[in-house]
Structure 1
Amino acid sequence: MSNLEGHADMVRLDLPLYDIVHDCVGNPGNADFIAFFNGNQFMVLADLFAAFRLDSDKSQTLYYETLPPGILAKQITAHGRLDIGSLQLHVNPDVFAAGHQEMQQLASHLLPPVPYAQNHLALVMPKGASNLATLSDLGRLSVRVLMPNPMTEGIARLARRALEMDGGPQLAKTVFEEKVRRQETVFTTVHHRETIPAIAQGQFDVGVVWVSEAMYAASQGFPIVWAPFPSHANPVGRYYIAALKQAPHPDTAQQFLRFIASQTAQDIYHRYGFEAPNQDTPFDGF
Protein backbone atom coordinates (compact mmCIF):
# COMPACT_ATOMS: atom_id res chain seq x y z
CA MET A 1 0.00 0.00 0.00
CA SER A 2 1.30 3.43 -0.81
CA ASN A 3 1.79 6.09 1.79
CA LEU A 4 -0.09 9.11 0.47
CA GLU A 5 0.06 11.78 3.12
CA GLY A 6 -1.47 15.18 2.51
CA HIS A 7 -0.82 18.48 4.29
CA ALA A 8 -1.66 22.05 3.48
CA ASP A 9 1.66 22.52 1.73
CA MET A 10 2.85 18.98 0.99
CA VAL A 11 1.78 15.71 -0.59
CA ARG A 12 4.02 12.71 0.00
CA LEU A 13 3.89 9.56 -2.12
CA ASP A 14 5.99 6.52 -1.22
CA LEU A 15 5.09 3.32 -3.06
CA PRO A 16 7.95 0.85 -2.60
CA LEU A 17 9.46 -0.42 -5.85
CA TYR A 18 7.48 2.14 -7.83
CA ASP A 19 6.89 5.73 -6.77
CA ILE A 20 9.93 6.23 -4.58
CA VAL A 21 13.29 7.77 -5.50
CA HIS A 22 16.19 7.58 -3.05
CA ASP A 23 18.96 9.16 -5.12
CA CYS A 24 17.45 12.51 -6.08
CA VAL A 25 17.25 14.68 -2.98
CA GLY A 26 15.74 18.14 -2.63
CA ASN A 27 14.00 20.54 -4.99
CA PRO A 28 15.86 21.17 -8.26
CA GLY A 29 13.46 23.97 -9.12
CA ASN A 30 14.64 26.40 -6.46
CA ALA A 31 18.07 25.06 -5.47
CA ASP A 32 20.95 27.50 -5.20
CA PHE A 33 23.50 24.68 -5.13
CA ILE A 34 23.33 21.43 -7.14
CA ALA A 35 25.73 18.51 -6.72
CA PHE A 36 26.15 15.20 -8.54
CA PHE A 37 27.99 12.61 -6.40
CA ASN A 38 29.05 8.98 -6.78
CA GLY A 39 26.14 7.00 -5.40
CA ASN A 40 28.31 5.17 -2.89
CA GLN A 41 28.38 8.36 -0.80
CA PHE A 42 24.63 8.54 -0.22
CA MET A 43 25.09 7.92 3.52
CA VAL A 44 27.59 10.78 3.88
CA LEU A 45 25.86 13.65 2.16
CA ALA A 46 23.18 14.63 4.67
CA ASP A 47 25.87 15.24 7.29
CA LEU A 48 28.24 16.79 4.75
CA PHE A 49 25.72 19.31 3.45
CA ALA A 50 24.47 20.14 6.94
CA ALA A 51 28.05 21.06 7.83
CA PHE A 52 28.42 23.01 4.58
CA ARG A 53 25.35 25.07 5.45
CA LEU A 54 26.97 26.01 8.76
CA ASP A 55 30.24 26.83 7.00
CA SER A 56 28.62 28.82 4.20
CA ASP A 57 28.18 32.57 4.24
CA LYS A 58 24.53 32.12 3.29
CA SER A 59 21.82 29.52 3.81
CA GLN A 60 21.88 27.03 0.93
CA THR A 61 18.88 25.41 -0.72
CA LEU A 62 20.40 22.17 -1.96
CA TYR A 63 19.58 19.55 -4.54
CA TYR A 64 21.81 16.53 -5.11
CA GLU A 65 21.87 13.23 -6.93
CA THR A 66 23.70 10.08 -5.82
CA LEU A 67 23.67 7.86 -8.90
CA PRO A 68 26.37 5.77 -10.59
CA PRO A 69 29.00 8.12 -12.03
CA GLY A 70 28.52 6.84 -15.57
CA ILE A 71 24.84 7.74 -15.42
CA LEU A 72 25.60 11.18 -13.99
CA ALA A 73 28.19 11.76 -16.71
CA LYS A 74 25.62 10.92 -19.39
CA GLN A 75 23.13 13.25 -17.70
CA ILE A 76 25.62 16.09 -17.88
CA THR A 77 26.30 15.51 -21.58
CA ALA A 78 22.52 15.30 -22.16
CA HIS A 79 22.18 18.89 -20.90
CA GLY A 80 20.95 17.70 -17.50
CA ARG A 81 18.17 15.42 -18.66
CA LEU A 82 17.32 12.42 -16.46
CA ASP A 83 14.30 10.20 -17.09
CA ILE A 84 12.89 8.30 -14.11
CA GLY A 85 9.98 6.27 -15.43
CA SER A 86 7.65 8.85 -16.93
CA LEU A 87 9.21 11.71 -14.93
CA GLN A 88 11.66 13.88 -16.83
CA LEU A 89 14.13 16.14 -15.03
CA HIS A 90 16.47 18.73 -16.51
CA VAL A 91 19.11 19.52 -13.89
CA ASN A 92 22.57 20.97 -14.51
CA PRO A 93 24.98 20.59 -11.59
CA ASP A 94 27.41 23.00 -10.04
CA VAL A 95 29.85 20.24 -9.06
CA PHE A 96 30.44 16.67 -10.23
CA ALA A 97 32.17 14.01 -8.13
CA ALA A 98 33.35 10.76 -9.72
CA GLY A 99 36.37 8.64 -10.60
CA HIS A 100 39.33 9.60 -12.74
CA GLN A 101 37.93 8.11 -15.96
CA GLU A 102 34.67 10.06 -15.78
CA MET A 103 36.65 13.22 -15.15
CA GLN A 104 38.67 12.57 -18.28
CA GLN A 105 35.54 11.84 -20.31
CA LEU A 106 33.94 15.12 -19.25
CA ALA A 107 37.08 17.25 -19.39
CA SER A 108 35.51 19.71 -21.83
CA HIS A 109 32.67 20.36 -19.35
CA LEU A 110 34.76 20.67 -16.18
CA LEU A 111 37.20 22.91 -14.44
CA PRO A 112 40.30 21.04 -13.16
CA PRO A 113 39.27 18.20 -10.81
CA VAL A 114 40.85 17.62 -7.40
CA PRO A 115 40.91 14.46 -5.24
CA TYR A 116 38.95 14.62 -1.98
CA ALA A 117 38.72 11.01 -0.68
CA GLN A 118 39.71 7.44 -1.43
CA ASN A 119 38.49 3.94 -0.68
CA HIS A 120 39.15 0.22 -1.10
CA LEU A 121 37.13 -2.80 -2.19
CA ALA A 122 35.33 -5.40 -0.09
CA LEU A 123 33.37 -8.60 -0.55
CA VAL A 124 29.96 -8.99 1.10
CA MET A 125 28.33 -12.37 1.76
CA PRO A 126 25.11 -13.50 3.46
CA LYS A 127 25.47 -13.92 7.20
CA GLY A 128 25.87 -17.58 8.08
CA ALA A 129 27.03 -18.58 4.61
CA SER A 130 30.38 -20.21 4.03
CA ASN A 131 32.96 -17.48 3.64
CA LEU A 132 34.87 -17.37 0.41
CA ALA A 133 38.56 -18.02 0.98
CA THR A 134 40.09 -16.14 -1.98
CA LEU A 135 39.21 -13.85 -4.85
CA SER A 136 39.75 -16.85 -7.13
CA ASP A 137 36.61 -18.36 -5.59
CA LEU A 138 34.57 -15.79 -7.54
CA GLY A 139 35.49 -17.73 -10.66
CA ARG A 140 34.07 -21.02 -9.41
CA LEU A 141 31.06 -22.42 -11.27
CA SER A 142 28.96 -22.69 -8.14
CA VAL A 143 29.45 -19.10 -6.91
CA ARG A 144 26.77 -16.54 -7.81
CA VAL A 145 28.38 -13.10 -8.13
CA LEU A 146 26.62 -9.73 -8.04
CA MET A 147 28.94 -7.19 -9.66
CA PRO A 148 28.64 -3.44 -10.35
CA ASN A 149 28.13 -2.65 -14.03
CA PRO A 150 31.44 -1.78 -15.72
CA MET A 151 29.61 0.46 -18.20
CA THR A 152 28.45 2.89 -15.51
CA GLU A 153 30.24 2.04 -12.26
CA GLY A 154 33.89 2.89 -11.72
CA ILE A 155 34.07 0.35 -8.91
CA ALA A 156 33.62 -2.41 -11.49
CA ARG A 157 36.71 -1.24 -13.36
CA LEU A 158 38.63 -1.38 -10.10
CA ALA A 159 37.22 -4.83 -9.28
CA ARG A 160 38.34 -6.18 -12.63
CA ARG A 161 41.80 -4.76 -12.03
CA ALA A 162 41.88 -6.43 -8.60
CA LEU A 163 40.97 -9.83 -10.10
CA GLU A 164 43.77 -9.42 -12.64
CA MET A 165 46.19 -8.60 -9.82
CA ASP A 166 45.09 -11.69 -7.90
CA GLY A 167 44.56 -14.34 -10.57
CA GLY A 168 45.67 -12.85 -13.84
CA PRO A 169 43.63 -11.83 -16.90
CA GLN A 170 41.90 -15.22 -17.07
CA LEU A 171 40.24 -14.81 -13.66
CA ALA A 172 38.93 -11.39 -14.65
CA LYS A 173 37.67 -12.76 -17.96
CA THR A 174 35.96 -15.67 -16.21
CA VAL A 175 34.08 -13.44 -13.76
CA PHE A 176 33.31 -10.51 -16.07
CA GLU A 177 32.63 -12.37 -19.33
CA GLU A 178 32.24 -16.14 -19.16
CA LYS A 179 30.14 -16.20 -16.00
CA VAL A 180 28.04 -13.31 -17.31
CA ARG A 181 27.11 -15.41 -20.34
CA ARG A 182 26.11 -18.23 -17.99
CA GLN A 183 24.22 -15.75 -15.78
CA GLU A 184 26.38 -16.67 -12.80
CA THR A 185 27.66 -13.09 -12.68
CA VAL A 186 24.94 -10.45 -12.80
CA PHE A 187 25.60 -6.73 -13.26
CA THR A 188 23.67 -4.23 -11.16
CA THR A 189 22.11 -0.98 -12.36
CA VAL A 190 22.63 1.01 -9.14
CA HIS A 191 24.94 -1.12 -7.03
CA HIS A 192 24.75 0.93 -3.83
CA ARG A 193 21.00 0.25 -3.69
CA GLU A 194 20.91 -3.31 -5.03
CA THR A 195 23.92 -5.23 -3.76
CA ILE A 196 23.49 -5.25 0.02
CA PRO A 197 19.75 -6.17 0.03
CA ALA A 198 20.29 -8.90 -2.56
CA ILE A 199 23.16 -10.41 -0.57
CA ALA A 200 21.26 -10.11 2.70
CA GLN A 201 18.35 -12.00 1.14
CA GLY A 202 20.63 -14.77 -0.13
CA GLN A 203 19.94 -14.10 -3.81
CA PHE A 204 23.70 -14.17 -4.51
CA ASP A 205 26.69 -15.72 -2.79
CA VAL A 206 28.93 -12.67 -2.96
CA GLY A 207 28.90 -9.05 -4.03
CA VAL A 208 31.56 -6.42 -4.61
CA VAL A 209 31.22 -3.12 -2.77
CA TRP A 210 33.35 -0.37 -1.29
CA VAL A 211 34.64 -0.90 2.25
CA SER A 212 32.59 2.12 3.35
CA GLU A 213 29.39 0.54 1.99
CA ALA A 214 30.07 -2.74 3.78
CA MET A 215 30.76 -0.92 7.05
CA TYR A 216 27.58 1.14 6.74
CA ALA A 217 25.42 -1.87 5.89
CA ALA A 218 26.75 -3.78 8.90
CA SER A 219 26.08 -0.77 11.13
CA GLN A 220 22.48 -0.71 9.89
CA GLY A 221 21.92 -4.31 10.92
CA PHE A 222 21.91 -6.03 7.54
CA PRO A 223 22.55 -9.79 7.95
CA ILE A 224 25.84 -9.83 6.07
CA VAL A 225 29.49 -10.57 6.64
CA TRP A 226 32.21 -8.74 4.78
CA ALA A 227 35.93 -8.78 4.21
CA PRO A 228 38.30 -6.41 2.43
CA PHE A 229 39.99 -7.59 -0.72
CA PRO A 230 43.44 -9.06 0.08
CA SER A 231 46.17 -6.48 0.42
CA HIS A 232 48.03 -7.67 -2.69
CA ALA A 233 44.91 -7.11 -4.84
CA ASN A 234 43.03 -4.17 -3.35
CA PRO A 235 43.80 -1.13 -5.51
CA VAL A 236 42.90 2.37 -4.37
CA GLY A 237 39.76 4.00 -5.66
CA ARG A 238 40.33 7.75 -5.57
CA TYR A 239 37.40 10.16 -5.80
CA TYR A 240 37.64 13.48 -7.60
CA ILE A 241 35.42 16.54 -7.66
CA ALA A 242 35.23 19.42 -10.13
CA ALA A 243 33.11 22.46 -10.74
CA LEU A 244 31.28 22.66 -14.04
CA LYS A 245 32.45 25.30 -16.49
CA GLN A 246 28.79 26.27 -16.93
CA ALA A 247 27.86 25.89 -13.25
CA PRO A 248 24.55 27.63 -12.49
CA HIS A 249 26.03 28.89 -9.18
CA PRO A 250 29.79 29.21 -9.74
CA ASP A 251 30.61 31.10 -6.55
CA THR A 252 28.89 28.49 -4.39
CA ALA A 253 30.61 25.72 -6.34
CA GLN A 254 34.02 27.18 -5.49
CA GLN A 255 33.00 27.63 -1.88
CA PHE A 256 31.99 23.96 -1.70
CA LEU A 257 35.27 22.83 -3.25
CA ARG A 258 37.11 24.69 -0.50
CA PHE A 259 34.83 23.17 2.12
CA ILE A 260 35.22 19.55 1.01
CA ALA A 261 38.97 19.85 1.52
CA SER A 262 38.49 21.16 5.05
CA GLN A 263 39.12 19.13 8.19
CA THR A 264 35.40 19.28 9.01
CA ALA A 265 34.47 17.57 5.74
CA GLN A 266 37.33 15.09 5.98
CA ASP A 267 36.26 14.10 9.49
CA ILE A 268 32.76 13.36 8.21
CA TYR A 269 34.13 11.16 5.44
CA HIS A 270 36.40 9.35 7.88
CA ARG A 271 33.42 8.65 10.14
CA TYR A 272 31.79 6.74 7.29
CA GLY A 273 34.85 4.65 6.43
CA PHE A 274 36.49 6.77 3.73
CA GLU A 275 40.15 7.74 3.72
CA ALA A 276 41.71 11.11 3.01
CA PRO A 277 43.29 11.32 -0.45
CA ASN A 278 46.90 10.23 -0.34
CA GLN A 279 48.88 11.03 -3.45
CA ASP A 280 51.67 8.73 -2.24
CA THR A 281 49.40 5.67 -2.34
CA PRO A 282 49.90 3.54 -5.48
CA PHE A 283 47.02 4.30 -7.82
CA ASP A 284 45.75 1.69 -10.27
CA GLY A 285 42.99 3.66 -11.90
CA PHE A 286 39.28 4.18 -11.22
Structure 2
Amino acid sequence: MTRPARRIARTAAAGAAVLLALSACSSQGSSAPEASGSSPSSRKLSGTVTVFAAASLKESFTALGRQFERQHPGTRVTFSFGGSDTLAASITAGAPADVFAAASTRTMALVTDREDAAGTPVTFVRNQLEIATLPGNPHKVSSLKDLTRSGLKVVLCDRTVPCGAAAREALDTAGLTLTPASYEQDVKSALTKVELKEADAAVVYRTDVKAAGDKVEGVEFPESATAVNDYPIALLKDAPHTAAAKAFIELVRSPRGLKVLSEAGFLAP
Protein backbone atom coordinates (compact mmCIF):
# COMPACT_ATOMS: atom_id res chain seq x y z
CA MET A 1 0.00 0.00 0.00
CA THR A 2 1.37 3.44 -0.88
CA ARG A 3 1.97 6.05 1.81
CA PRO A 4 -1.01 8.26 0.71
CA ALA A 5 -3.27 5.20 0.70
CA ARG A 6 -2.15 4.26 4.23
CA ARG A 7 -2.94 7.82 5.43
CA ILE A 8 -6.42 7.64 3.92
CA ALA A 9 -7.10 4.26 5.58
CA ARG A 10 -5.94 5.53 8.99
CA THR A 11 -8.17 8.62 8.67
CA ALA A 12 -11.19 6.51 7.74
CA ALA A 13 -10.63 4.19 10.69
CA ALA A 14 -10.32 7.10 13.12
CA GLY A 15 -13.53 8.64 11.77
CA ALA A 16 -15.40 5.37 12.21
CA ALA A 17 -14.21 5.13 15.82
CA VAL A 18 -15.44 8.64 16.56
CA LEU A 19 -18.84 7.86 15.03
CA LEU A 20 -19.13 4.69 17.14
CA ALA A 21 -18.28 6.61 20.31
CA LEU A 22 -20.81 9.33 19.53
CA SER A 23 -23.46 6.72 18.81
CA ALA A 24 -22.85 5.04 22.18
CA CYS A 25 -23.06 8.35 24.03
CA SER A 26 -26.27 9.22 22.21
CA SER A 27 -27.84 5.87 23.13
CA GLN A 28 -26.93 6.24 26.80
CA GLY A 29 -28.18 9.84 26.95
CA SER A 30 -31.54 9.16 25.32
CA SER A 31 -32.51 6.43 27.79
CA ALA A 32 -32.37 8.65 30.88
CA PRO A 33 -35.20 11.05 30.04
CA GLU A 34 -37.45 8.12 29.11
CA ALA A 35 -36.99 6.56 32.55
CA SER A 36 -37.45 9.82 34.45
CA GLY A 37 -40.48 10.77 32.37
CA SER A 38 -42.43 7.55 32.90
CA SER A 39 -45.93 8.13 34.23
CA PRO A 40 -46.99 6.93 37.73
CA SER A 41 -49.41 4.44 36.19
CA SER A 42 -46.59 2.75 34.24
CA ARG A 43 -44.48 2.02 37.32
CA LYS A 44 -44.93 -0.58 40.03
CA LEU A 45 -47.02 1.11 42.72
CA SER A 46 -47.64 0.22 46.34
CA GLY A 47 -49.15 1.66 49.50
CA THR A 48 -52.52 3.02 50.54
CA VAL A 49 -53.98 6.04 48.76
CA THR A 50 -56.21 8.07 51.07
CA VAL A 51 -58.83 10.07 49.19
CA PHE A 52 -61.02 12.78 50.73
CA ALA A 53 -64.02 13.20 48.43
CA ALA A 54 -67.40 14.94 48.32
CA ALA A 55 -70.26 12.71 49.46
CA SER A 56 -71.86 12.79 45.99
CA LEU A 57 -68.82 10.95 44.60
CA LYS A 58 -69.26 7.94 46.89
CA GLU A 59 -70.61 5.39 44.40
CA SER A 60 -68.39 6.44 41.48
CA PHE A 61 -65.15 6.74 43.43
CA THR A 62 -65.74 3.46 45.27
CA ALA A 63 -66.04 1.74 41.88
CA LEU A 64 -62.91 3.50 40.59
CA GLY A 65 -61.04 2.53 43.75
CA ARG A 66 -61.76 -1.14 43.06
CA GLN A 67 -60.58 -0.70 39.46
CA PHE A 68 -57.38 0.93 40.66
CA GLU A 69 -56.59 -1.87 43.10
CA ARG A 70 -57.09 -4.48 40.37
CA GLN A 71 -54.88 -2.52 38.00
CA HIS A 72 -52.14 -2.06 40.62
CA PRO A 73 -51.83 -5.16 42.85
CA GLY A 74 -50.28 -4.23 46.17
CA THR A 75 -52.12 -0.90 46.43
CA ARG A 76 -55.20 0.02 48.42
CA VAL A 77 -57.55 2.99 48.15
CA THR A 78 -59.40 4.25 51.21
CA PHE A 79 -62.01 7.00 51.17
CA SER A 80 -63.38 9.62 53.51
CA PHE A 81 -66.66 10.93 52.06
CA GLY A 82 -68.52 13.92 53.46
CA GLY A 83 -69.37 17.58 53.05
CA SER A 84 -66.61 19.27 51.06
CA ASP A 85 -66.21 22.08 53.59
CA THR A 86 -65.76 19.60 56.46
CA LEU A 87 -63.18 17.63 54.49
CA ALA A 88 -61.32 20.83 53.56
CA ALA A 89 -61.20 21.84 57.22
CA SER A 90 -59.75 18.44 58.14
CA ILE A 91 -57.06 18.77 55.47
CA THR A 92 -56.01 22.26 56.54
CA ALA A 93 -55.93 21.01 60.14
CA GLY A 94 -53.35 18.40 59.14
CA ALA A 95 -55.37 15.24 58.47
CA PRO A 96 -53.18 12.81 56.48
CA ALA A 97 -54.54 12.41 52.95
CA ASP A 98 -53.21 12.07 49.40
CA VAL A 99 -56.05 13.35 47.21
CA PHE A 100 -58.91 15.84 47.64
CA ALA A 101 -61.93 15.88 45.31
CA ALA A 102 -64.36 18.69 46.14
CA ALA A 103 -67.88 19.47 44.92
CA SER A 104 -67.07 23.11 44.20
CA THR A 105 -64.15 25.36 43.39
CA ARG A 106 -64.98 27.45 46.46
CA THR A 107 -64.34 24.57 48.84
CA MET A 108 -61.19 23.56 46.97
CA ALA A 109 -59.97 27.14 47.47
CA LEU A 110 -60.10 26.57 51.24
CA VAL A 111 -57.26 24.10 50.70
CA THR A 112 -55.31 25.87 47.96
CA ASP A 113 -55.40 29.19 49.81
CA ARG A 114 -53.53 27.48 52.64
CA GLU A 115 -51.06 26.04 50.11
CA ASP A 116 -52.00 22.49 51.10
CA ALA A 117 -52.38 21.32 47.48
CA ALA A 118 -49.49 20.29 45.25
CA GLY A 119 -50.04 22.03 41.94
CA THR A 120 -53.21 23.41 40.41
CA PRO A 121 -56.54 21.56 40.94
CA VAL A 122 -58.26 20.34 37.77
CA THR A 123 -62.02 20.18 37.16
CA PHE A 124 -62.88 16.59 36.19
CA VAL A 125 -66.73 16.63 36.19
CA ARG A 126 -69.71 18.88 36.87
CA ASN A 127 -73.00 18.22 38.67
CA GLN A 128 -76.53 19.61 38.56
CA LEU A 129 -79.31 19.79 41.13
CA GLU A 130 -82.55 17.83 41.13
CA ILE A 131 -85.47 17.49 43.54
CA ALA A 132 -85.78 14.11 45.26
CA THR A 133 -89.34 13.25 46.29
CA LEU A 134 -91.01 10.21 47.82
CA PRO A 135 -91.54 7.30 45.42
CA GLY A 136 -94.52 8.00 43.20
CA ASN A 137 -94.28 11.73 44.03
CA PRO A 138 -97.45 11.70 46.16
CA HIS A 139 -97.30 15.48 46.77
CA LYS A 140 -97.18 16.17 43.01
CA VAL A 141 -94.03 18.26 43.17
CA SER A 142 -93.26 19.52 39.67
CA SER A 143 -91.22 22.68 40.25
CA LEU A 144 -88.95 24.44 42.69
CA LYS A 145 -91.87 26.71 43.61
CA ASP A 146 -93.89 23.69 44.77
CA LEU A 147 -91.36 23.17 47.57
CA THR A 148 -92.58 26.37 49.23
CA ARG A 149 -96.10 24.99 49.73
CA SER A 150 -97.39 25.02 53.30
CA GLY A 151 -97.19 21.68 55.07
CA LEU A 152 -94.53 20.22 52.78
CA LYS A 153 -91.48 19.01 54.71
CA VAL A 154 -88.36 19.88 52.68
CA VAL A 155 -84.69 19.46 53.61
CA LEU A 156 -81.68 21.24 52.14
CA CYS A 157 -77.94 20.83 52.47
CA ASP A 158 -76.30 23.31 54.81
CA ARG A 159 -75.43 26.60 53.11
CA THR A 160 -71.73 26.04 53.77
CA VAL A 161 -71.56 22.88 51.64
CA PRO A 162 -71.66 22.99 47.82
CA CYS A 163 -75.10 21.39 47.37
CA GLY A 164 -76.58 23.89 49.85
CA ALA A 165 -74.90 26.87 48.20
CA ALA A 166 -76.15 25.69 44.79
CA ALA A 167 -79.70 25.25 46.11
CA ARG A 168 -79.62 28.74 47.54
CA GLU A 169 -78.43 30.11 44.19
CA ALA A 170 -81.27 28.31 42.36
CA LEU A 171 -83.86 29.62 44.83
CA ASP A 172 -82.50 33.16 44.44
CA THR A 173 -82.71 32.81 40.65
CA ALA A 174 -86.36 31.78 40.99
CA GLY A 175 -87.06 34.59 43.48
CA LEU A 176 -88.25 32.05 46.08
CA THR A 177 -87.92 31.90 49.86
CA LEU A 178 -87.82 28.46 51.43
CA THR A 179 -87.52 27.60 55.12
CA PRO A 180 -86.48 23.95 55.27
CA ALA A 181 -87.38 21.48 57.98
CA SER A 182 -83.63 20.93 58.47
CA TYR A 183 -80.23 21.72 57.03
CA GLU A 184 -78.05 18.64 56.47
CA GLN A 185 -74.26 18.43 56.59
CA ASP A 186 -73.90 16.71 53.21
CA VAL A 187 -76.01 15.68 50.23
CA LYS A 188 -76.30 12.02 51.27
CA SER A 189 -77.76 13.04 54.63
CA ALA A 190 -80.37 15.19 52.87
CA LEU A 191 -81.27 12.34 50.53
CA THR A 192 -81.53 9.85 53.41
CA LYS A 193 -84.24 11.99 55.02
CA VAL A 194 -86.44 11.36 51.98
CA GLU A 195 -85.47 7.69 51.70
CA LEU A 196 -86.55 7.18 55.33
CA LYS A 197 -89.74 9.20 54.71
CA GLU A 198 -88.65 11.75 57.31
CA ALA A 199 -89.00 14.44 54.66
CA ASP A 200 -91.26 14.88 51.65
CA ALA A 201 -88.57 16.28 49.38
CA ALA A 202 -84.94 17.40 49.26
CA VAL A 203 -82.83 19.41 46.85
CA VAL A 204 -79.85 17.19 46.01
CA TYR A 205 -77.72 16.33 42.99
CA ARG A 206 -79.07 14.41 40.01
CA THR A 207 -76.32 11.84 40.62
CA ASP A 208 -77.70 11.12 44.09
CA VAL A 209 -81.23 10.67 42.77
CA LYS A 210 -79.89 8.21 40.20
CA ALA A 211 -77.86 6.31 42.82
CA ALA A 212 -80.93 5.98 45.07
CA GLY A 213 -82.82 4.03 42.41
CA ASP A 214 -86.49 3.42 43.26
CA LYS A 215 -86.09 4.73 46.82
CA VAL A 216 -86.89 8.25 45.56
CA GLU A 217 -88.30 9.94 42.49
CA GLY A 218 -86.47 12.76 40.76
CA VAL A 219 -87.95 16.04 39.54
CA GLU A 220 -85.91 18.30 37.28
CA PHE A 221 -86.29 22.08 37.42
CA PRO A 222 -84.95 24.74 35.02
CA GLU A 223 -83.30 26.93 37.68
CA SER A 224 -80.77 24.13 38.29
CA ALA A 225 -78.99 25.21 35.09
CA THR A 226 -77.89 28.40 36.87
CA ALA A 227 -76.24 26.49 39.72
CA VAL A 228 -74.06 23.81 38.13
CA ASN A 229 -71.09 22.88 40.31
CA ASP A 230 -67.57 22.20 39.00
CA TYR A 231 -65.76 19.34 40.76
CA PRO A 232 -61.98 19.89 41.10
CA ILE A 233 -59.46 17.25 42.14
CA ALA A 234 -55.95 17.83 43.51
CA LEU A 235 -52.90 16.02 44.81
CA LEU A 236 -52.20 17.19 48.36
CA LYS A 237 -48.84 18.70 49.24
CA ASP A 238 -47.87 16.27 52.00
CA ALA A 239 -49.32 13.18 50.30
CA PRO A 240 -47.75 10.08 51.94
CA HIS A 241 -47.97 8.08 48.66
CA THR A 242 -47.42 10.60 45.88
CA ALA A 243 -46.85 8.21 42.96
CA ALA A 244 -49.92 6.10 43.69
CA ALA A 245 -52.01 9.22 44.34
CA LYS A 246 -51.03 10.69 40.97
CA ALA A 247 -51.97 7.41 39.30
CA PHE A 248 -55.39 7.45 40.96
CA ILE A 249 -56.01 11.00 39.72
CA GLU A 250 -54.95 9.83 36.24
CA LEU A 251 -57.57 7.07 36.42
CA VAL A 252 -60.31 9.51 37.50
CA ARG A 253 -59.50 11.78 34.54
CA SER A 254 -59.01 8.98 32.01
CA PRO A 255 -61.68 7.85 29.51
CA ARG A 256 -62.38 4.86 31.78
CA GLY A 257 -62.86 7.13 34.77
CA LEU A 258 -65.07 9.57 32.90
CA LYS A 259 -67.18 6.66 31.65
CA VAL A 260 -67.91 5.58 35.23
CA LEU A 261 -68.69 9.14 36.26
CA SER A 262 -70.91 9.91 33.26
CA GLU A 263 -72.88 6.70 33.83
CA ALA A 264 -73.54 7.96 37.36
CA GLY A 265 -75.04 11.15 35.94
CA PHE A 266 -72.10 13.56 36.16
CA LEU A 267 -71.58 16.08 33.37
CA ALA A 268 -68.41 16.48 31.34
CA PRO A 269 -66.14 19.29 32.58
Q: Does 1:103 align with 2:118?
A: no
How far 1:156 moved relative to its partner?
Answer: 0.7
Q: TM-score normalised to the size of structure 2? A: 0.75
Q: Matched residue of 1:106: which SS?
A: helix
Check the 8 A contact 1:118/1:239 in 2, yes or no: yes
Residue matched to 2:151: 142
How far 1:130 moved relative to its partner?
Answer: 1.9
CA RMSD of aligned residues (A): 2.0
Q: Matched residue of 1:36: which SS?
A: strand
Q: Structure 1 residues 93, 204: closer, same or farther in 2, change over 3 A?
A: same
Give the alignment of 1:92-171 within 5 angstroms.
Answer: 92-98=96-102, 99-107=104-112, 108-111=115-118, 112-128=120-136, 129-151=138-160, 153-167=161-175, 171=176
Q: Does 1:240 align with 2:235?
A: no
Residue matched to 2:195: 200
1:186-218 CA distance string (max 9 Å, x none): 1013331x3333213432221011101101112
In structure 1, distance between residues paired with 2:210 and 2:192: 14
% identical equivalent positions = 25
Check the 8 A contact 2:125/2:230 in 1, yes or no: yes
Q: TM-score normalised to the size of structure 1? A: 0.71
In structure 2, distance between residues paired with 1:121 and 1:271: 16
Residue matched to 2:35: none
Residue matched to 2:93: 78
| Greater C-alpha Rg | 2
Give the alignment of 1:273-284 within 5 angstroms.
Answer: 273-277=265-269
More helix by share: 2
How far 1:226 moved relative to its partner?
Answer: 1.1
In structure 2, distance between residues paired with 1:212 and 1:196: 11
How far 1:232 moved relative to its partner?
Answer: 6.7
Q: Which runs of 5+ in 2 are unaligned?
A: 1-45
Q: Structure 1 residues 126, 232: closer, same or farther in 2, change over 3 A?
A: closer
How far 1:79 moved relative to its partner?
Answer: 1.4
Q: Matched residue of 2:75: which SS?
A: coil
Check the 8 A contact 2:49/2:241 in 1, yes or no: yes
Of the three residues 31, 34, 45, the one matched with 2:50 is 34
Check the 8 A contact 1:44/1:269 in 2, yes or no: yes
Count of equivalent residues? 219
Check the 8 A contact 1:165/1:232 in 2, yes or no: no
Residue matched to 1:68: 83
Which runs of at least 4 in structure 1 moved beyond 6 Å after TM superposition? none
In structure 2, distance between residues paired with 1:201 and 1:255: 38
Q: Does 1:47 align with 2:63?
A: yes
Q: Matched residue of 2:204: which SS?
A: strand
Give the alignment of 1:207-222 within 5 angstroms.
Answer: 207-218=202-213, 221-222=214-215
1:3-49 CA distance string (max 9 Å, x none): xxxxxxxxxxxxxxxxxxxxxxxxxxx95211101011111122101
Q: Structure 1 residues 141, 103: closer, same or farther in 2, change over 3 A?
A: same
Q: Does 1:186 align with 2:182?
A: yes
How far 1:121 moved relative to its partner?
Answer: 0.4
How far 1:235 moved relative to its partner?
Answer: 2.5
AA partner of residue 131 (structure 1): K
Check the 8 A contact 1:120/1:228 in 2, yes or no: no
Q: Structure 1 residues 67, 232: closer, same or farther in 2, change over 3 A?
A: closer
Q: Matched residue of 2:155: which SS?
A: strand
Q: Which runs of 5+ in 1 are unaligned?
A: 1-29, 81-91, 278-286
Q: Structure 1 residues 233, 142: closer, same or farther in 2, change over 3 A?
A: farther
